[in-house]
Chains A and B, each alone.
Chain A
Amino acid sequence: MAADYLDWLRREGRIVIVGASLAGLRAAETLRAEGFTGSLTMIGDEPYEPYDRPPLSKAVLLGKASPLHTELPHRREVDAKWRLGVPATGLDLTAKRVRLADGDEVEYDRLLIATGVRARPWFKEEEGRLDGVFLLRTRDDAARLLQRLRSARRVFIIGAGFAGCEVASACREMGLAVTLAERAGAPLVGALGGVIGAVAADLQTGNGVDLRTGITVTALEGDPAGRVRSVHLSDGSEVETDVVVVSLGSLRNTEWLTGSGLGAGPRGIACDAGCRAFDFRGIVTDDVFVAGDVARSPHALFGYQFLSLEHWGNAVAQAETAAHNMICRGADRRPHLWMPAFWSSQFKVNIKSVGVPPMGDQIMITQGSLAERRFVGVYGHQGRVVAAVSFDNTRWLEFYQRQIERGAPFPVDYTTVDRRPEGRQPVDADFPDPSLPTHGPTVTLSGYSPADQQLVFTPARH
């Protein structure tokens, strides 16, 4: 019976994907690659074919790539019905229908939600509407910002996360005066902790950025014509500027699911490791799947915590897993076990991390030196390696990824090439708000390809 349904679904079922960006596209391609021949509908709120976002804060701002031409390469023909420029506005789980902004309704047999996130707007709406105040998430955002930067002299960036730091880097390369404001004590502190944050701070100031930390922006002031003129800070100072870039992280696009009965909210849509969405009662659904930035799923390696990862590689891997699981038998389903990883490029320094650095409470510089801004740092939590970060040392990270997967002991007790005196002892990683899970069983990951990965469960010793 179930097998019959699955055969039918694969042959002539209807699959709807809400979200036509990286995760949506890769899921559609995987469905076709794995033999799905039914009807496929792609719904996207932006009027564009799926495009790549990482270049928007890097090559595009530097004029090395056009904001209008960062389309994602297609791996294969997806033969889908595209509904672009029409946001989804609601979901009826019982009738299995997605409502669209233009009043249309689309029926599905299986649904994939990949609606992603959007930039968090400036909290005072009126100030956010001033001419010269920008967000950066979409290609339209990038095109508008780029055009304005070409005639600007001074830029003020609110928020020194990865995006804010990358914009600062691009603007300096364009020769603009840049002020970068951050509430925490240093850039990137939330993602990498204070030890690495201090290096990121040096990188900014060393490249001529006016870095203001431990400070908040209280108001944006416009001139009578409605153009932004200056920024007021919590220490009472005022900085004149031509452009303000608001880079305060993101909001998950889940509002359209309000009242649908899905377990969706500001923290994303909860799903199991097989990418099936939970309803609000905590019961897993059978026909609604989630992937990409909007998903929140338990990760076996990190205490089964529900992680939402706004990482490019995660979107691809989760989309592939979700698509595979949507059209296969229960026994053939795979868990989404992607090792968190992201990269950034600022002032020609390549920053890459694997694992979950904010879970670490200590860090050890196992290779290179912080002062030279070329190093590998390893994060530990409860005696295990949980993450690593590199500045211009990317080629070593594969090793540390395996250490994380194997639950290797921390502190690192072996010698490595290029170990400096500073790297002999672990130090406090200095995260502002560590979220520490309780001690649980040790879980290790083995195998290399998704098909042969195995979880090995070792009960906790008490």
Chain B
Amino acid sequence: MSTVLHEHYEVKPDDFANAGKASSAIKEQLKSLGLSPAVLRRVAVATYECEINLIIHANGGTIDMDIEEDGTIRLVFQDTGPGIADLEKAMTPGFSTASEKARAMGFGAGMGLPNIKRVSDTFDIQSSEEGTRIELTFVES
């Protein structure tokens, strides 16, 4: 499937001051393309959670968004962080390894990955000691 639009974003580690900036930019971009509020909402939830994970748990990372010819939105979040030791646990609602600093700001509910999986149409996560890669797709319902 060929891509009609590609966007690339960099997320810096520990940069709480700019958390949500990439997610907002993605949402605005999709809004300008006339996507429905329902899909915008799902993309916003997923991108924000992934962006926060890059800031809190990884050493920052990258976000790549592709919009394909058939309208599918493909998002890839890639980092070179420590990886997720136990993926099954990480997917369990309420389980969190967030730092005290992150928790003090209201992060660490343990709902990030479950939220992402719930709102996306396809969800793929690969994690090792070299980093984590999450690929999501969204289609207009």
Partners in one complex: no
